[in-house]
Structure formats: C-alpha cells, structure tokens
Amino acid sequence: MINSNDKYFFFKKKNKTKKKRKIKEKIISKILLALASISVLTTIGIVAILSKETIAFFGEIPIADFLLGTEWTALFANPKFGVIPLVLGTVMIALYGSIFAIPIGLGSAVYLSEYASEKTRKIVKPLLEILAGIPSIVYGYFALTFITPILKNIFPSINVFNALSASIAVGIMIIPMISSLSEDAMRSVPKEIKEGAYALGSTKFEVSTKVVIPAALSSIISSFVLAISRAVGETMIVTLAAGSSPNLTLNPLEGVQTMTAFIVQVASGDVTHGGLIYKTIFAVGMLLFLLTLLMNIIARMIIKKYREEY
C-alpha cells in the first residue's frame, strides 16, 4: 500500500516536472518567435531603406517622368529616367523564359509523377535538380558562348547580346523549380481519386491531364509564380547575355537591359554615394519589389480560387 508520505512526494515531483516542462515550452516559444521575427524585421528593414532613398530620388525627378518615360539614359551626360525600357526588358526575359520553361517543367513533372517507374524517378529527379544548383553566372556564359552561336545560325541578324538567348538560359535555370514543386504536388493527390478515374476506363494521359493536374492546380500555379519571380529577379544571366542597352523593343533578337542588370551596372561603377545616379538603384529596386509583390498577390488570389482540399 502507498502511504500518505509517498503520495505527497509523488505529486510534488509531478508538479515540479510540469513546471519545468512549462518553462521549457515558454523558452522554446520565445526562441521560435524570435526566429520568425527575423524575416519580418528583415523585410521591414529592406522596405524602409528602399523607401527612404526612393522618396529622395522622387524629390529630384517627377514620378510621372519615371513611370511613363520611354527613354532611360541615367548614365549619360543628359540623363533621362523613363523606366519603361527597363521594365519591358525585365518582362520580356521573364515571359520568354517562362514560355520555354513551363511546358518542359510541367511535362517533366507529369512524367515523373505518373509515367516513370520508382527506379527511373530516383535517377531522373536528382539529375534534373542539379540544374538548380548551377550558379547563374555559369548560365550567363553558357548563353553567351553556346546558345547565342546556335541562334546565330538560325537568325543571322541576331545581336551578340540579345534577349532570346538570355531568356532560354533563364528558362533552363527555372525548369527544376517548376518540375520539382509540380511533381510533389501531383504525387500528393490522393490515390483513390486516380484509381476511381482508372476504374471508369480513363487512360494514363486522361488521368494526368483531367484529374491529377486540376487536383494539384493551386500548387502547380505556385510553382509557376515562384519560377517567374525567380526569372524577374535574375541578375547575372541577363547582365552577361542580354546586354546593357535599355531599348524600348519587343524584338527578342535585340539586346535589352533589365532592372536588375541596371542595378549591377551602377553598383559596380564609380558612382557618388548619395548622388542622383546612386538613388536610381533604390527607385528601380523599389519598383522591382512592388512588381514582384503584385505578382504574388495575384497568384495567391488564383491559388485561393482553385485550391482543392482532401
């Protein structure tokens, strides 16, 4: 039998254990909160710095001239600050790169998810993901020394620095992102749904295109948006392969300059700290930040609309 003293010591020990556990949970909670706050504080810091210098820039240059102007000659003797050529160059690279990457990435995801054997998948997927580990500067030289000469044989009038070769290199770089995320989303579709489609006489292709892709559509769109955002923010490929001419053109055979390439050009040059040219970096950076933010907001709306829960 357990006497009263044993009961007393038992419950006392139990209470001490509970108190220690609560203290540990509080400490862990505070640590996790601090870690979560780092990303928020970093974002706030970036926005604050961008905003400060951007406001200073617009104190000297009218915002209408910046947003609506069609000439960008910031480094010339008589500078003009119409950002549309930089925005158009950025959009061209991201658009053509996505047109190249999305079909290949999605097709690869469908193959790995629905057609490939487990053995083949274990070999092909890591090989495909190696592309994501290649430094972007390597892609830039690859575009300049390999892709552009091939395009020169097809389009003799193409410039050495052109948007098309840069777009193809950017597209190759973002293929693993689309493929890996989309394939993971497709494999998370419940097996019962696929088996139900097969039971109704559907072919593997019909199951893939009419059941699996619609069921995983929200996550697939997420992979597209993430890849496009990566393409919009790409720097070294476009700096090396697309050139540094802020042309107002839709012709991918000509050289263009993106917003990120301009930032690199100014940051690596001899620019006076606090001067007008210095401030353009932050104005262009703020516009790039807002464009990326807008893309993510639109994507979240689309994802919310098509999200399927199982």
Chain centroid to Cα 177, Å, comes to 9
Residues 24, 84 within the same domain: no
Residues 139, 185 within the same domain: yes
Residues 136, 181 within the same domain: yes
Q: Per-residue confidence of the chain (310 residues) as pLDDT tens digits?
A: 445 555 555 555 566 677 777 888 888 888 888 888 888 888 888 889 888 888 988 888 888 888 888 888 887 778 888 889 999 999 999 999 999 999 999 999 898 888 888 888 888 888 887 887 888 889 999 998 999 999 999 988 888 899 999 999 999 999 988 998 888 888 888 888 888 888 888 888 888 888 888 888 888 888 888 888 888 888 889 888 888 888 888 888 888 889 988 888 887 766 777 778 888 888 998 999 888 888 888 878 877 776 666 5
Considering 21, 36, 59, which residue would you say is the last residue of a domain? 59
* Angle in degrees, CA 203, 205, 208, rounded to 5: 110
Residues 42, 94 within the same domain: no
Residues 6+ apart with CB under 8 A from 260: 90, 233, 234, 235, 238, 239, 288
CB atoms within 10 A of CB 147: 20
Residues 275, 192 within the same domain: yes
Residues 29, 167 within the same domain: no
The residue range of the domain holding 143 is 68-306
Give CA–CA dist 291/252, Å, rounded: 22
Cβ-contact 96, 167 below 8 angstroms:
yes
Residues 212, 279 within the same domain: yes
What is the total count of domains within the chain? 2
Q: Which helix (H) or strand (E) holds 122?
A: helix 118-129
Cβ-contact 179, 105 below 8 angstroms:
yes
Residues 86, 225 within the same domain: yes
